[in-house]
Chain A
Amino acid sequence: MNQIFESILDPYYMQVLTLLGIYIIAALGLNLITGATGMFSFGHAAYFAVGAYGAAILTVNFGFPFYIALVAGGLMASLAAIIIGFPALRLTGDYLGIVTLGFGEIIRVVFLNMKITGGAIGLSGIAKETNLSIVIVLVMVTVYIMYALDNSRFGRALVAIREDDIAAESMGINVMTYKMKAFALGCFFAGIAGGLYSHLILYINPSDFGFAKSFEFLCFVVLGGLGSIPGVILGTTVLTLAPEFLRAVADYRMMIYGALMVFMMIIRPKGLLGDVNLHRIFFKKKYQKQANRSTAAGG
């Protein structure tokens, strides 16, 4: 399948689209944490980094097959999330945000000081394993999982925690355990995305994974529409491709990018697709029919 893409797309755009897919996976992971469960996480790039380094070290130093390394990278990110979540998830709101940011920076500094990660010099010699078709498949799998969760007992519990954690606990939900599961799961996707990233870019360095990257992920999610799966995909797409389209304005590119973020937030404070439930729009008839039927039966 990749050959088909290669024949119709310029290598540069292939790279951009692959990266976009990788970011969508990571952003959907963050959406599960912040959008569905309502936990602020300002350190998502750190779990992305754990996956990137974890998978790359496994393939480069230990000769693991790529797919196994990829999953292992995801699991390592989950493990990091569980270790950090244990103390951090007792906090809520902005405090949780700042603590996750802090842990994120600590992880980055630790990578900067480790031998196996190559420290500040970074890790190179990673084989190119990621390509557009793999990423497309994984994006589809991720989107499927997110939708499946949305309409499940598990997903409902997360949303209930976001809406009112005390009421959720009083309905028999073990809030702490579910927060932990959501955090670990969201970070698993960050880790998978990270593994794909390092096998695409082929060279990684701790400075790629600072809090600026974490905020970038957060922007994808919030700007697209917190909690909305199509919103997150749209937000990630707009913000990842915007710099490409802004190439025409060369030097002013990043300045306009910043201004654009402010502007978009002001005109759509709930995000591009915030409060837009596509499921409801597409299945409007079905909802109405059911509602009518039950009213008729009841009256």
Chain B
Amino acid sequence: MFEQQIINGLTLGSVYALIALGYTMVYGIIQLINFAHGEIYMIGAFAGVTMVTMLGQGFFVSITVAMLVCMVLGVVLERVAYRPLRKSTRLAALISAIGASIFLQNAMMLWKGPQPVGFPQVINDAIYHIGPIEVSKVQLIILATSAILMAVLNYIIKYVKIGKAMRAASQDYDTASLMGININRVISFTFAIGSALAAAAGVLVGMYFNSVAPLMGVMAGLKAFCAAVLGGIGSIPGAMLGGIFLGVAETMGIAAGFSTYKDAIAFTLLIIVLLFKPTGLLGKPIQRKV
């Protein structure tokens, strides 16, 4: 059932890709590993669940609201935890990110308890058969939503003014700020977009596995970060490629009987790629300057 695994892998991979985009965009501009990004994804999932269960909304409204909530959260996170440390060492900002991540996890646990919460069916799930392959409606929705979001992102980055400013800032932060680009606005915007994508991923995953949990962002965030590094951190197509690659590889690995090693697959792949191509699949090589 190779084809079947490809479909399952693509579904998982597109979710990794959505989360990885947030990591890569933030890293591209301020070289920060935003370790609280996994928590944004988790909160997005909870926002979706809340919309569905408490307010009885459908898929479209739920995912939109979750994205908006996380946009605000992402911007606030940057203002509070990262902006004051922008001129400090990377490790200082990293510790602040870890602190923020612990804070968000525990805030959610306080609210919803540590146990997983069920995600009610918002879509009447159906299974389609294409030859020997089974595709569920949820899978199709995940794939379609991810594709649309990535297309929108691509449009923003290429054609919208603020998106071009983002690209400029990630090419050369100092020059961009000298050219009159408002760096603070660009960074806020980057966090907003990245967080919205993560929230969408959270809702999609909640729908796929029918459950969300306060600690769901930890492993998913870490693996998505691996995907970003694997693809070449700072590179947007790299994050997409890395996410898909990782999702497919992990699904294949589990299908091949390595399920107890599931969490090691991502890291093993990452290490192998980095040893041969130290800046990731689509990353630019670093020059050793003397």
B39 to chain A, nearest CB (A): 10
Check A222 for interface membership: any CB of B closer than 8 A. yes
Q: Which residue of A lies closest to B110 (CB)?
A: A251
CB atoms of A255 and B110 under 8 A apart: yes
B-to-A contact residues, CB < 8 Å: 31, 33, 35, 80-81, 84-85, 88-96, 98-107, 109-110, 218, 222, 225-226, 229, 233, 260-261, 263-264, 266-268, 270-271, 274-275, 278-279, 288, 290
CB atoms of A258 and B103 under 8 A apart: yes
A40: chain B residues at CB < 8 Å are 91
B85: chain A residues at CB < 8 Å are 265-266, 269
B204 to chain A, nearest CB (A): 25
Contact among B35, B95, B103, B218 with A223 in the assembled complex (CB-CB below 8 Å):
B95
Within 8 A of B (CB), among A182-232: 211-212, 215, 218-219, 222-223, 226
Using A98-B274, A222-B91 as known contacts, list a sample of 10 further A-B pairs with CB atoms less than 8 Å apart, ordered by residue number in A.
A93-B90, A95-B229, A95-B279, A99-B271, A103-B271, A226-B89, A254-B102, A255-B103, A255-B110, A261-B99
B268: chain A residues at CB < 8 Å are 102, 106
B34 to chain A, nearest CB (A): 12
CB atoms of B95 and A94 under 8 A apart: no
Chain A interface residue count, Cβ-Cβ cutoff 8 angstroms:
46
Check A298 for interface membership: any CB of B closer than 8 A. no
Is the contact region of chain A dominated by helix, strand, or loop, or is it mixed? Answer: helix
Give the distance in Å from the alpha carbon of A101 to the alpha carbon of B263 in the complex.
Answer: 12
B230 to chain A, nearest CB (A): 10
B263: chain A residues at CB < 8 Å are 105, 109
Check A262 for interface membership: any CB of B closer than 8 A. yes
CB atoms of B92 and A222 under 8 A apart: yes
CB atoms of B89 and A262 under 8 A apart: no
A265 to chain B, nearest CB (A): 4
A263: chain B residues at CB < 8 Å are 99
A210 to chain B, nearest CB (A): 9
